[in-house]
Structure 1
Amino acid sequence: MRGFWAAAVMAASVFGAGFSAQATETVITADAMVDVVKGKLVEKPMIVVRDGRIVAIGKQGTFTAADDAKQIALDGMTLLPGFMDMHVHISGDAETPFYMTMGYSVPRQTVVAVKNAQKTLMAGFTTIRDLGDGGYSVIGVRDGINAGDIIGPRIFSAGNALGITGGHCDNNFLAPEMKSKSGGVADGPWAAREKVRENIKYGANAIKFCATGGVFSKGTKVGIQQYSLEEMKAIVDESHQRGLVVAAHAHGTSGIKAAIVAGVDSVEHVSFLDDEGVALAKKFGTYFSMDIYNTEYTLTYGAENGVPEENINKERQVSQRQRDSFTRAVKGGVKMVMGTDAGIYPHGDNAKQFSRMVEFGMTPMQALQAATINAATLMKQENDLGALQEGFLADIVAVKGNPLENIAVTEDVTFVMKEGVVYKGE
């Protein structure tokens, strides 16, 4: 019992800030604030938060808050909207030996997801889209966060990622007699529709399918299209009919284009992009979500973590091509969101991608917009999330210094508020 109470006290010290009572109003001041809607830096901001939302915002000294308001002065810091990562896998760990994770039960995956949800929130990412887990583990974690049982970011979860038999979203690592088959496998338009319905039945509030082969699967080629256009259209139609945003994993050129034509909301990875793909994305209003940081982790630590040579070699094939495609997309004016594929590298390091987004073509403001207002618009949350504006949910983070001068300061978030509750830096 003594050990139990010691653990309870430790848990309270970790989670307590997130569940403490707050004053009627909270007033936050800082040296500066990034206005991602207008694309400018605002000096000496003051934000008033009540009941989880921003109720007033302006320059310090231009208005007053309630006398009993709680004051949070973040001197030397810049305020930003909570970051949004549109491609993560919080039930996976990059540091865990590759084959060991294949033996994880759904409860074990859920525990991993709880741990990584907290890491992600503390890194300043208040909203994420999880694009594939096993056994609906992340949906359980999402519901636990929403119920206040645990802490973590706001989660849009796809549940099982849809894919063809033997494709990237299937499990091809085990022997035939094991009869292993991933939960999202569906062949043919009507089977794919049924799988979308099944995911929604069990709580999915996003949908993902694999349009091409991928890096971390066995026996697939990253550039080869998997689902047919007819199957993709069935998935998109069924998902949109139910009001869900659809993401398509697509490295290869033909798969990228087919997914866009099928009507997906975002294409993930987009490694082998050509000018026609850029033109199609602009025509259809498709967002690109391109994970251009994690290649560094895979090529540096993959072998050490037990990743097979086949998969590391595929990473070598896409690494520079994907970064070149990112530059092509930015120059071409494609709509972009931040998607890091966290889980392929350690969770909590999501913000390391910001500097790569700037290195390969974006301005610091564009990179921040990709992770805020653009992501909110993709997820149809643009009236609640993605900006520091009156009426929006109070998802607010702060960093030391000016991220428009040095985007790398986003890698050390010192203050995190989600829906008016302070989780870090109070």
Structure 2
Amino acid sequence: MLTSNQGVYVMYISNLNAEILRNLVLTALGKLKADSVLKNASLVNVYTSEVIEGVSVAIKSGRVAYVGKNVDHLIGSSTKVFDVKGMYITPGFMDAHIHIESSMLTPLRFSEAVLPHGTTSVFIDPHEIANVLGVKGVEFFIKEALEAPIRIFVNVPSCVPATPEDTTGAKLGPKEVEYLLRNPYTIGLAEMMDFHGVLSLREDVVSKILAAHKLGKIIDGHAPGLSNNLLQAYVSTGIYSDHESVRADEVVEKTRLGMYVMLREGSAWRDLAETLKAVAEKGIDTRMLLLASDDRNPYDIVHEGHMDYIVRKTIELGIDPVKAIQMATLNVAMRFKVEKYLGGVAPGKLADIVVLDDLEKVNVKMVFVDGKLLAKNGRSLWHPPENYKAPSYLYGTINIKRKITSEDFKIKAPIEEGIVKAKVIGVIPEEAITKKLIMDVRVVNGYVVSDVERDVLKIAMVERYTGKGRTGLGLVHGFGFKYGALASSIAHDNHNILVVGVNEEDMALAVNKVVEMGGGIVFAAKGEIRAAVKLPVGGIITDKPAEEVAAQLEKLTLETRKAGSKLREPYMTLSILGLIVIPELRITDKGLFDVLDNKFVSLFA
């Protein structure tokens, strides 16, 4: 939904010219008829924090021309009239931070999926596709942003790879980052995940931050666990937003330092219940609080929703409905400096509007973008072209020139038989962080074996870019499998292949199937492939519709439940266990990594 090529942000949001300006003025004065009118609703006014009854909205040239009690004089023979009596008009919902790749969909398929849920703008960090394909991956997302029905604001990935220790398919150094920042279709520098690089003033990190400042673009943050002088040092560089808070005291500390805090409610990690305590228990004002999904898989989008779900959850947790809507509209627009065009329903604003039939349940009935009705009653009225397919250069990105075998997953122990203490990745359900556990693990014939009774399983990362398939090994607690193995080429942020399993044979089978498919997620058990989700675009997404992918994920989740897992979505949990910018313990293709100590560590304690 990009419409101009002038200015830093204008291309996303403004096609204002002399003719449109004239049309808006004359319509507001009653001298021109509106293109469309929404009649007799209750307006959620995010500017004054009130709900005003009996309001109608007139739209002209894709913008709001008039908001008032009576718009009959603006209705002509060609005006489309939507009678929304008894309903609520709100601004279009905005996701403050998301990686579209987590939806497992291309940007166009993602747009099609989220439109019925009231989402009209998203602020994205395409660092997943960038880790696989570099600049050309980001440029593919920019291209699809130009064609999308919603507003996709592209931030330039700042950390590709996430840290120097990651093995990826591409790198974005200061030169590539500045090149992309100079692209008029990018809005800022995406989450600066390498906080160690910021705090140590590493030259390449400083260069990227200064490039964003020089070009007048925003800088998004990533500050998990940072506090006191470390947090203040991080913020002092001009990084004024963060989405990694998991506790109320983190939200309080960050907002007091002038940071916009994005409260995350994603698929694998759901933080709202804790972070909203900053409002309920600490009394923090909501002006600096934004709503974001960070990662939202297609099953959850189809069955729960997107921004409508997050706003609804916020209300259920005790936040006033108008405040909750502000957190998904005006507050987001303010943070990204687009409030001149978006974030509210008022004269001159772009007509991105959601109609609800229940304010507290956030039941979306209609969605308008640029004044056009694009979704109604839970169905998108917009679809990609019938022959839509991602470009061929995005396929064939998995490069492993050998067959993975059970031998790749054997862990040699320091003893021949018995029990040995080892460092184990402790999964915390629905949270991004992990715990560094020290546990007793079993050794048989000189090798560590899984212990299903104590829920200690093997985990590995198989490198997929150089052809060698280098494999790092570890142990994990929290998946609950009694049998089988789960493998995925979605492995934030390097997107090598992650696999967790009870036995080495099923682990090898699952990984080889992922390679054969060109990317995806596989559950294997007892020598058979039980479920598979094919993701051949960059090995992490697909150009198929969301409903099709959701059905495959449902089958895969069912198989993991049969195998004993109680995790809501084990594949989402698995996908972040290689992310070495979030504490505490992670797996890489080189072995275990301690995030807090910022170093590789031995498996055995």
Q: How high is the TM-score relative to the length of structure 1?
A: 0.67
**Taking structure 1 as reference, are residues 265 and 165 closer, same or farther at Cα in structure 2, changes over 3 Å only?**
closer
Matched with 1:366 is: 323
CA deviations 1:306-349 (Å, max 9, x no partner) are xxxxxxxxx6xxx66x7434422673336111111133564443
Aligned-pair distance for 1:139?
Answer: 4.9
The AA in structure 1 aligned to 2:246 is S
SS at match of 1:28: strand
Partner Cα separation in structure 2 for residue 67 and residue 355 of structure 1: 38
Q: Which residue of 1 aligns with 2:214?
A: 241
Aligned pair partner of 1:324 in 274, 295, 311 = 274
The amino acid that maps onto 1:26 is: S
Partner of 1:376, secondary structure, is helix
Q: Which runs of 4+ in 1 moved over 6 A?
A: none
Gaps of 5+ in 1: 1-22, 95-110, 173-178, 213-223, 299-314
Contact 1:164 1:227 in 2 (8 A): no
Decide whether the 8 Å contact of 1:139 with 1:157 is kept in 2. no
Q: Percent sequence identity over matched residues? A: 20
Q: 2:156 and 2:254 mapped to 1: Cα distance?
A: 28
Single out whichever of 35-44 and 359-368 deviates more from structure 2.
359-368
- Match of 1:221? none
- 3-state SS of the aligned residue for 2:181? helix
Distance 1:49 1:290 in 2: 32
- Does residue 202 of structure 2 align to residue 208 of structure 1? no
**Closer/same/farther in 2, CA of residues 400 and 265 from structure 1, 3 Å limit:** same
**3-state SS of the aligned residue for 1:332?**
coil
RMSD, aligned α-carbons? 3.1
Q: Give distance in 1, aligned partners of 2:207 and 2:78.
A: 55
If asked which structure has higher relative contact order (CA below 8 Å, sep 6+), I would say 1
Please say if 1:251 is aligned against 2:193.
no
* 422 and 140 in structure 1: CA distance in 2 versus 1, 3 angstrom threshold: farther
Higher helix share: 1
Q: 2:306 aligns with which of 349, 356, 377?
A: 349
Work out whether residues 46 and 344 of structure 2, in 8 Å CA contact, stay in contact via their aligned partners in 1: yes
Q: Give the total of aligned pairs.
A: 327
CA spacing shift, 1:378–1:114, aligned 2, 3 Å: same
Q: C-alpha displacement at 1:145, in angstroms?
A: 4.8
Give a deviation string over 1:169-218, Cα, whole Å, max 9, x none. x7x4xxxxxx535534x5xxxx4xx3530332455322113436xxxxxx
Asked if the contact 1:161–1:208 (Cα under 8 Å) also holds between the matched residues in 2, the reply is yes
Q: Bigger shift: 261-270 or 55-64?
A: 55-64
Structure 2 Cα separation of the partners of residues 272 and 251 of structure 1: 10
Q: Is the 8 A contact 2:116 2:367 kept in 1?
A: yes
Change (3 A) 1:93 1:27: closer
Query: What is residue 340 of structure 1 aligned with on the other side?
Result: 293
Instruction: Specify which of 57, 60, 78 is matched with residue 70 of structure 2.
Output: 60
Partners of 1:120 and 1:30 lie apart in 2 by: 26
Q: Structure 1 or 2: larger strand share?
A: 2
Is it true that 1:162 corresponds to 2:159 in the alignment? Answer: yes
Residue pairs, 1:189-338, within 5 angstroms: 191=174, 194-201=175-182, 203-211=185-193, 225=196, 227-228=198-199, 230-231=201-202, 234-254=207-227, 256-271=231-246, 274=249, 278-279=252-253, 281-283=255-257, 285-291=258-264, 293-294=265-266, 297-298=267-268, 323-328=273-278, 331-333=283-285, 335-338=288-291
Structure with max Cα Rg: 2
What amino acid does structure 1 have at the position aligned with 2:278?
R
Aligned residue number for residue 123 of structure 1: 117
Measured after TM superposition, the shift of residue 244 of structure 1 is 1.4
Query: TM-score, normalized by length of structure 2?
Result: 0.49
Q: For 1:75, what is the secondary structure of its paired residue?
A: coil
Contact 2:308 2:364 in 1 (8 A): no
Partner of 1:114: 108
CA apart distance, 1:388: 0.5
One-letter code aligned to 1:199: L
Question: In structure 2, how many angstroms separate the alpha carbons of the residues matched to 1:145 and 1:395?
Answer: 16
Structure 2 equivalent of residue 422 of structure 1? 373
2:44 to 20, 27, 34: 34
